[in-house]
Structure 1
Amino acid sequence: MKWRRMPLGPIGTNAYIISNDIKECLIIDPGAEAQKIFAYVNEHRMQPLAILLTHAHYDHIGAVDEVREKYTIPVYIHKKEKNWLLDPALNLSFRVPYLEPLRLKEAEEIITGDGELSIGGFHFTVFETPGHSPGSVSFYFKEHDVIFSGDALFEGSIGRTDLPGGNTDQLLRSIHDKLLTLPEETLVLSGHGLETTIQQEMDTNPFLNGY
């Protein structure tokens, strides 16, 4: 499996395109600038299979409908945020003066809890990791020692919890119970910033010390 981190939009939210040996790909959090995603997929002659959303804040979903319609693929989102795609107040796009309010189509696939998912040649685990938002999830590819953590855990930081539905204690529990139990060499690919590892965050993340 290969992955490409693609910072998109005014605040550089990370989208990820992950691919396998037969050129299938999954697109995680296409937040803006759909044409950049199209260019990369076309250049590498990939076949998109699905869009996976770690959560539904505006900066993670802005290009969802363009990508979904281009490739005729389903969107996966947690049940607690399925309505956020349709509502600018919930996805917070109404707060952003330079952005048109986002009213997207409903997701085709609803994540209801922790569990295993298979899409094409990809097999991975979904972890519920709420705290930054109620329906935040992380996608763990055990065979490849990689987890896509959305805005739960960053290099040297954690997701903000001052937005509606945020909860600091819940986020710290999610990180401690779901993420820090993974092998220390696991690569953490976050919604913002650079990659890190579970070991690095256990050793150096000031928000996790003493929890």
Structure 2
Amino acid sequence: MIPAFPPYPDQDIPYFVQTSGTYDTDDWGDLERHGIDPARDWWCEAVLRTRRSDAIASLYPPGASRHQPLVDFILGAEDLYEAEAVAHRAIRVGRSIAALLADQSDAAAWQSLKGLGLPPGHTESIKSWIRAVEELGHRWEPLVLEASGWAGEMWTVSMIADFLGYEGASATNSARVWLSRKGLKPQGRQTGRRGQTEYDAELIRQAKEASPGKGRHGAQRKRGRFQS
């Protein structure tokens, strides 16, 4: 039986990012260096594949072998920063998949998969995969999902405050109030005890454009990032 996903946002899913050709998939020492116990933790590994201009993020449940991720999520990426965003999105996908393994009728889980760039027909592919997992007694082959587009940025509250033009000691509090009013929820969390919650930058931009006001005007952006 696949263990339940940790509650969100109370517990992090540890992850790390590497470049293809710089790691050994048979070496478990890198997991220990990142504070991951594969027998106990859900965890995610994202590999930037520079020749393909994408990243593949593999999400593992506790006890899975290194060659048996639950989900392989593929999305366009050009650098390690974007590969990290792919890891965040894979964790979001994995949370929904874990919920659907427990209850295929979980409407919230299906809803959360929308807007992640999954290919047309992904619903039927996921349902078929879940049936196969159940028939195999909760053994599985990885669910491979190749999304369209590119990895989105993840912003902390302080980054959002800067984007919205808030300044001073109350800037982050003002940003939190704005996020609450817009109904925007965290989509990830940085690793470590002091890791900050992170929000989908594209959703922030969309909400800002829908309600013009103070912000960082005039700067040109390339793939969502401000350029000097």
TM-score (norm 1): 0.30
RCO greater where, 1 or 2, for CA within 8 Å and sep 6 or more? 2
Greater share of helix: 2
Indicate the structure (1 or 2) with the bigger Cα radius of gyration. 2
Greater share of strand: 1
